[in-house]
Amino acid sequence: MEQPSTDNKLIIYQVLPRLFGNTKTVNKPNGSIDENGSGKFNDISDKALQEIKNMGFTHVWFTGVIEHATMTDYSSVGIKADDPDIVKGRAGSPYAIKDYYDVDPDLAVDVKHRMTEYEALIKRTHTNGLKVIMDCVPNHVARTYGSDVKPAGVRDFGQDDDTTQAFSPKNDFYYIPAQHFTVPAGYNPGGDELKSPLKDGKFDEHPAKATGNDVFSASPSINDWFETMKLNYGVDYQNNRTPHFDPIPPLWNKMYDILHFWAAKGIDGFRCDMVEMVPFEFWGWVIPKLKAEYPDLVFIGEAYNSTLYTKYITTGKFDYLYDKVGLYDAIKRLTRNEPNATTWDINHVWHNDSNGIDSHMLRFMENHDEQRIASRDFAGNPWLAVPGMIVTATLSTGPVMVYFGQETGEPAAGTEGFSGDDGRSSIFDYWGVPEHQKWINNGKFDGGQLSADQKKLRSFYSSLLSTVHKSEALRTGEFYELMVANEHQPGFNTRMYIYARYTAKQRILVITNFNRTEQTITVKLPDDLLQKLNLSGSREFKDLLTGTNYNTNNINNGITLTLPATSGLLLEF
């Protein structure tokens, strides 16, 4: 299996531009863009990007850039209005793409020049020493999809479909012939605040198309992805998932053209949405085809079926996959102090991934789909994530990702509109992110409104990520698990996690304490590791996070350490 380059471990800052730069603080549930505001491409200034760079980040993932369906009317600038009955939230879901060749008008200061403003952001990001990742949403599009700015010669999705066929490998969509689409009963788009003549519980789609989450019915439920239509890569789902890949379905080339369009604008990578709903074979075809022209392009897959990870890397040619069902889940249990949580769960993840895919796993503790650490739904206190974040960032050579606002302890409190009070920052609604806005400080991006505790928290993230960025052992080093060697040591318990990362030039001992109380332990390095690293006698250890020094008179007897509650050390020796 080809291993990704470890010259530069990806340290990714995920930004939702609609929320990131918004300084409005009204936060009215179901509020309009005029009431609640929206961040803009232009808000992500040189100063903002320099602050991101200074924290140790290497890449910025701009989430929700491509034009998607919305309840905001832009018909005055030539963008066809969407029917709110098939839009989720006043702002709309960034994953209900309306035009793959355009960007979200909400994010532009001058809507007519929205693409120019995004291109300027790409250039600005590069000028500030960061690389750009953006979304690829391959499985589904908005029910109102139609490109009004597509390049000359491009055929739109569905333009050449035979709509009398439920399935044809030549079609871009799946159809429910002779049936009209039915809007799910009980949906109140935009809440009571939205007054629109289009809000009538009807949407004219005939024949109906299959819904994005593999619902082959004209009447999806309110819990389905009813605002989207599934794209057809040549798999006959209703006939034993029979593949029809020869000849290549038209959709494959259309999606290649779209990805090429963005790569040509200087994009450095794509985070690909719900890759398991698209066949391996397509990815194995399109990724090498794009890399033939853009060899440094990075592909990250959102994946949840761990039994298929290896296939998505080997057959699908992805560089990295989400490690949600694995490390994220294990660390969340420990961070929440759940009764049966144990750091052996982390070992279990590492052993499962040690068949060559560990370096391909993207680790995180927050993203737009998950609950905020500081929310009551997760931990209620952002400091409880310190040991988990240390492990997340240093376990392997694979990427680590932080979601904007995580570093200031944003709790995502309140009901935003379509999004309920669920501990997540809404991707569907216009909203301000209060604790993050304190760092923005009205566009100064200097943290001027943060509390002393928030500044300290942000300093922890900066110290951790900068250390990872600068440390050869953490970027590229080997991993040595130290749980088994220490399970009978005085002070050991299964809410601590211990390992080493090393190269020929640098060695780091990582010790984390997930306990809610202080712990003292004597950590031993096994004989084979001592020999491998040619260690003996007295040794000094320096914590790379704080600069604190620790000593042992004889490394063969280990080193005795006291760790505060929910803390960790990165000991260089």
Residue 511's domain spans which residues? 477-572
Specify whether 416 is located in the same domain as 383.
yes
Residue 193's CATH number? 3.20.20.80
Does 227 map to a domain? yes
Among 469, 488, 522, the domain boundary falls at 469
Specify whether 98 is located in the same domain as 230.
yes
Among 405, 439, 469, the domain boundary falls at 469
Residues of the chain with pLDDT under 70: 1-7, 353-355
- Cα 74–chain centre separation: 29
Three-state helix/strand/coil letters over 47-90? HHHHHHHHCCCCEEEECCCEEECCCCCCHHHCCCCCCHHHCCCC
Specify whether 422 is located in the same domain as 495.
no
pLDDT of residue 8: 81
Specify whether 322 is located in the same domain as 296.
yes
Residue 492's CATH number? 2.60.40.1180
Does 4 map to a domain? no
pLDDT of residue 343: 97
Specify whether 320 is located in the same domain as 281.
yes
Specify whether 267 is located in the same domain as 369.
yes
Among 469, 496, 520, the domain boundary falls at 469
**Segment holding 192, helix H or strand E:** none
Burial label for 170, CB within 10 Å (0-12, 13-18, 19+), is middle
Specify whether 404 is located in the same domain as 526.
no
Q: Residue 115, SS3?
A: helix
Does 1 map to a domain? no
Token representation of residue 7: 């010259």
Token representation of residue 40: 């803009």
Does 413 map to a domain? yes
Specify whether 280 is located in the same domain as 373.
yes
Q: Kindly report, residue by residue over 108-122, the tens digit of the pLDDT.
A: 999 999 999 999 999
Three-state helix/strand/coil letters over 340-379? CCCCHHHHHHHHHHCCCCHHHEEEECCCCCCCCCCCCCCC
Does 135 map to a domain? yes
Residue 500, beta-bridge partner list: 480, 509
pLDDT of residue 1: 60
Specify whether 150 is located in the same domain as 278.
yes
Specify whether 530 is located in the same domain as 391.
no
Does 446 map to a domain? yes
What is the DSSP code string of 438-472? HHHTTTT-S-TT--HHHHHHHHHHHHHHHHHHH-H
pLDDT of residue 6: 45
pLDDT of residue 378: 98
- Cα 323–chain centre separation: 10
List CB contacts of 187: < 8 A, sequence separation 6 or more: 85, 201, 222, 226
CB 209 within 8 A of CB 181: yes
Does 2 map to a domain? no
DSSP E strands, 197-272: 208-209, 228-230, 235-236, 242-243, 269-272
Does 539 map to a domain? yes
Specify whether 353 is located in the same domain as 492.
no
Q: Kindly report, residue by residue over 337-383, the tens digit of the pLDDT.
A: 999 999 999 998 887 765 679 999 999 999 999 999 999 999 999 99
Specify whether 506 is located in the same domain as 447.
no
- Say how many domains are in the chain: 2
